[in-house]
Structure formats: C-alpha cells, structure tokens
Structure 1
Amino acid sequence: MKTHRIITDKLAQARQRGSCVFAANEAEGQALRRRVRAGELANPYHGVFVDAQYWNTLNGTEQACHLARCLAERYPSWVFAGPTAAALYGFDHQWSIHRSGLYLASSVRSRSSSNGVHHIFMPSIPLCETQGVKVTSVSRTLVDCALILPFANALPIFDSAFRRGSCAADGLRSLCAELHRDTSAADRVLQYVDPLSENGGESLARAVMIEEDFPVPQLQRVFANPRNSREWYRVDFAWQFPGGYTVVAEYDGMAKYSDPAMTGRRSIQAVVNQQNDRERKLYEWGVNRIVRLSYDDVVQRWPLVDKLTGAGLPRNIQA
C-alpha cells in the first residue's frame, strides 16, 4: 500500500476517534510535512497532524481533546490535568481556557512549560481515566482549575461537576488543606458553587455578577399562577428585596433560538412569541422587572452591569 493511502486511512480513522495522527516512521513524517506545506494538513503540536479544513471547524475544547487523545496514544505515561482534564471529563467551560495549551501532571518539580504544554507539579498523582485517557482525579482537576484560571472561568467547571455529583465540597476542602499552599482561589469558587446552574453560560453570567458586586441570585426559582398551581415557569436568576420587589434575569444563549433540540424545531418567531407570553405571565404573577442577558452582554460586562443596575439591583462596591 502506498504511503499516501496509508496516511489518508490514518487521518480518516483518527477523525472517527476524535483524534489526530503522528508519523509511524520517517517516510510518513516526510509525507505528512509535505501536506502541511501544501496547506492540506495542520500541525498543531510537534509531530502531530490533522486535516486542516476539519481542524478549523473544531472549537477550542474539541481541539484540546483531539490533541490529548493523540498524545495519550503517543506518550502512554502522560497524565492530563487542570483545564485539559476538565475538557476530557466533559465539564462545562469556555473554549478560551485552552488558548494557553495543554496541562499535564508531573511528579518532577523542575519541569518547565514548552511546546504549548504546561506541567503541574504534584508529588503523588491521583490517577483516573476518562475516554481512555489518563487524567487526574476530579477533585484534583477542579482544584487545579481554580488555581490556574480566573474565577469566572473556574466557576462553570465547578458548577458542572457538582451538578453531575462528581465531587463533594468537603473532599475538595480536604484536598486544598493537603496541598500546603495558598488555595484561597479554590476556597472562593467553593463559596459560590451551585449545582442548580443549568449550563456553562448561566454559570459564567453568575460569576460576572459576583465579580461586579451584585447580590448573588437565586437560581431556578419557580413562579406559579396564583389561580392555577399547575401553570408555572422556572427562571434562570431571581432576586427578591424587602417589600417584595422582584427582579428576574434570563440568560439567552443563541441555541435557545437556533438549536432544534432546544426549540422543538419551531421558527425563531414562534420561540420569541412564546418568550413574550412567558414574560407577560411572569409580570402578572408578581415579577417587577425582567432582564434578558446575552453572551455578549456577559463577556463585555458593561451591558450586563447597565441592565442589572437599570433594573434596580444594588452593587456592594467597596470604597
């Protein structure tokens, strides 16, 4: 079988596995590098190759997982950690956390970062496996994410893990105590983790609210028709203040309007009409203000701040 046919088959098989390929010998390596120069293949890591057009369709999380699966095959002793392990576990997070590269557990303190791979020192590596890839335990993965990532990126990972029942707060606190280092960042995330958050977008929105000094919202509060308890709506975020003044915020990911799995294949107009009917009823049932937040509102921050302050939410800004 000619080399080009072998490579084509390997690329197709790797794609089915959600992985990349590496050269089995020098002849394959030369052929793969020629395809990179021709623009047919991408070379996202030293010695690792993937169809360029396919690679560009993947988001940051998918790319990180493809690389990890390939490198796990090439280097069986590698144990992935931190944000990379969180991606392999399938915890909700923002794709951007993978821009800095992959994370590995290392029992050698002096290992430095190179070629887009960062080493996290741990004298004893708590070994687990997911998707056939070696990773650190869920607890260690979460703690490392809290220590590496900003609060707003770490909270969605924690919410997702707790929502699945993959860990417990006491276990994480015990692990933090064993590390004999500053784990205040992990303590802060544990203070606010909430398994009621339904997805990473809602968790990110709540993290930004916290960082912008708004009161922590109640999640998934139910509002019911006072004349018919069987008619009710559950909202993403709610605040109720003395005197009964109630503010609701809804996080509108674009999937709410475009993903058939979420829209039931209804048209965008039908979804909007149902949304308007829902808002009308919430106002009738005692809600005073409803704020709709988009992903752009959250990541840009100032639109979120303007909308929430405009709805009357106070901010606990320290002088």
Structure 2
Amino acid sequence: MRVNIAMNQFLDEAQQQRRCAVMPTRAVRQALLRRVRTGEIVSPMRGLYARASYWKSLDTVERNRHVVRAKSRQHPEWVFGGLEAVCMHGLDHDYALHSSNLTVLSPTHAQAKPVHGITHICMPNCNYAVIDGVKVLPLAQTVAMGLRSFDFVNGMQIANCALRHGLTKQEIGDCMSRLGNCGASAWRVLEYGSDRCENGGESRAYGVMLDEGVAPPLLQ
C-alpha cells in the first residue's frame, strides 16, 4: 500500500510539472514496471513513466516536451537541439518528422547511432536558451539547424513561424553561415521565407507550391 501511495504521488508530481516521471526509487520502479506490463502505465523512453490515460491526452509536441523536461531533470547539463528545440520554442513543423530519438548537443563528442534513444551531436562552444527549465539551442540556431536538416517544405514551416514571431532573416543567415554545410535548399528557404503565412498549414502549402515550380503567391 505504501508503495502504491508513493507511486501515485510520484506520478502526480510529474503531471503537475508537465513532464514524465523520472528517477523513481527501486520499489516505485518495480511497481511502475508491473503496471507497464498491464498497460496502466506507459514508458515512452527508458526510465520515464506516465499514466497511460494522461499520455493519450497529449499531442505529439507535448509528449516530446514531457520527455525533454524529464530528461533535463535527469541530466541538467544537457542542451537539446533538433526537433526537441523546435518543440520547446513552439515552432510549427510536421509531426511526421518525430521519431523516438532525442537530439542532445555535446561540446566534445558525437555518436554515429542513438544510444538508449539519445543522439549526441558535436557542437563546440554551444550557446543555449532556457525554456521551462530546459537548456535548448537558441531560436536562430534552432531554425538554422532545422533548415540544414530538413527538406524545403519542412524547413519553410519552421522558418516562417520564426519570422512571424520576430526573428530576422539576417539572424538566421548568420547562424547558417556559422553552422556550415547548409545546402541550396536551406538557403532557398531563407530567400523565400515569409512572416505573412498565418500558420503552419499555410506555410506548408506555400512551400509545396514553390517546390513544385509554381510562381510564388502574393501573401496578404
């Protein structure tokens, strides 16, 4: 009974803090694992837990944020990049881009393959912003990394959202130059990106038209 009370308190605290439960005691962990087997509890990543009913109520972005907040609590020194930074900054993107892996930036080393769902990317002298207590790549660098990583249409969604919220093309371009290895598609997004697209859907449609060779529409 005491273990059940402790487990529920553990899960309640995590929900209140909008994260997955992490770092349980041994007794609580065993209780959680039993309930994972029955489907009452989900474990979206090794060592992370949430009530199945609560987890089902979250969309893809909020699930990602819950995992990131939990991993940040476990590893406060980590700086998140990739889609994790995109989500924490609230940038529009296609949910289909998500996988079960997280991107963490490291000043000293990189990994060719994810280990326990974590991909480490080497980025010396990495700056960071703090959002909800989580260290993430600053906004302009997040966009630059997104344009380098994703195709034209997906990059357009991310860039237009950032432009709509006040980021400038100059800031993005400077970060792209420092980041390096940004292909023609990334620079084309920067050329045609617009703060006039009202949402991610409009940005995606705009990007698809351009990608298919249609003359750029006049945005209101």
Indicate the TM-score class for this superposition, using the shorter chain for normalisation: over 0.9
The residue type equivalent to 1:116 in the other structure is G
* Secondary structure of 1:9's aligned partner: helix
Alignment CA distance shift 1:134-1:116 (3 Å): same
Aligned to 1:235: none
For 1:255-274, list aligned pairs within 5 A: none
For 1:25-104, list aligned pairs within 5 A: 25-104=25-104
* Secondary structure of 1:45's aligned partner: coil
* Secondary structure of 2:79's aligned partner: coil
Alignment CA distance shift 1:197-1:182 (3 Å): closer
For 1:146-157, list aligned pairs within 5 A: 146-157=147-158
If asked which structure has higher relative contact order (CA below 8 Å, sep 6+), I would say 2
Indicate conservation of the 8 Å contact 1:107/1:125, yes or no: yes
Per-residue CA distance 1:219-267 (angstroms, 9 max, x = gap):
12xxxxxxxxxxxxxxxxxxxxxxxxxxxxxxxxxxxxxxxxxxxxxxx
* Secondary structure of 2:43's aligned partner: strand
Indicate conservation of the 8 Å contact 1:102/1:118, yes or no: yes
Equivalents in 1 of 2:62, 2:47: separation in Å? 19
Aligned to 1:214: 214
Equivalents in 2 of 1:70, 1:138: separation in Å? 21
Give the TM-score taking structure 1 as reference length.
0.65
The residue type equivalent to 1:147 in the other structure is R
Equivalents in 2 of 1:173, 1:77: separation in Å? 28
Aligned to 1:139: 140
For 1:1-319, list aligned pairs within 5 A: 2-112=2-112, 113-165=114-166, 167-220=167-220
Alignment CA distance shift 1:164-1:136 (3 Å): same
Q: Which has the larger radius of gyration?
A: 1
Equivalents in 2 of 1:157, 1:11: separation in Å? 33
- CA root-mean-square deviation: 1.7
Give the TM-score taking structure 2 as reference length.
0.92
Task: Give 1:42 deviation, angstroms.
Answer: 0.5
May I ask how many residue pairs the two structures share in their alignment?
A: 219
The residue type equivalent to 1:17 in the other structure is Q
The residue type equivalent to 1:88 in the other structure is M
Per-residue CA distance 1:277-300 (angstroms, 9 max, x = gap):
xxxxxxxxxxxxxxxxxxxxxxxx
Equivalents in 2 of 1:65, 1:80: separation in Å? 11
The residue type equivalent to 2:159 in the other structure is F
* Secondary structure of 1:126's aligned partner: coil
Indicate conservation of the 8 Å contact 1:159/1:197, yes or no: yes
Indicate conservation of the 8 Å contact 1:20/1:66, yes or no: yes
Question: After alignment, is 71-80 or 116-125 more displaced?
Answer: 116-125
Per-residue CA distance 1:127-168 (angstroms, 9 max, x = gap):
111122110111111111112222212211111111111x22
The residue type equivalent to 2:213 in the other structure is D
Equivalents in 2 of 1:174, 1:215: separation in Å? 27
Indicate conservation of the 8 Å contact 1:127/1:134, yes or no: yes
The residue type equivalent to 1:139 in the other structure is A
Equivalents in 2 of 1:179, 1:10: separation in Å? 41
Equivalents in 2 of 1:191, 1:42: separation in Å? 43
Question: After alignment, is 146-155 or 79-88 more displaced?
Answer: 146-155
Structure 1 segments unaligned to the other structure (5+ residues) = 221-319
Which is strand-richer, 1 or 2? Answer: 1
Indicate conservation of the 8 Å contact 1:84/1:98, yes or no: no
Percent of aligned pairs with the same amino acid: 33
Indicate conservation of the 8 Å contact 1:20/1:67, yes or no: yes
Indicate conservation of the 8 Å contact 1:59/1:95, yes or no: no
Task: Give 1:124 deviation, angstroms.
Answer: 1.3
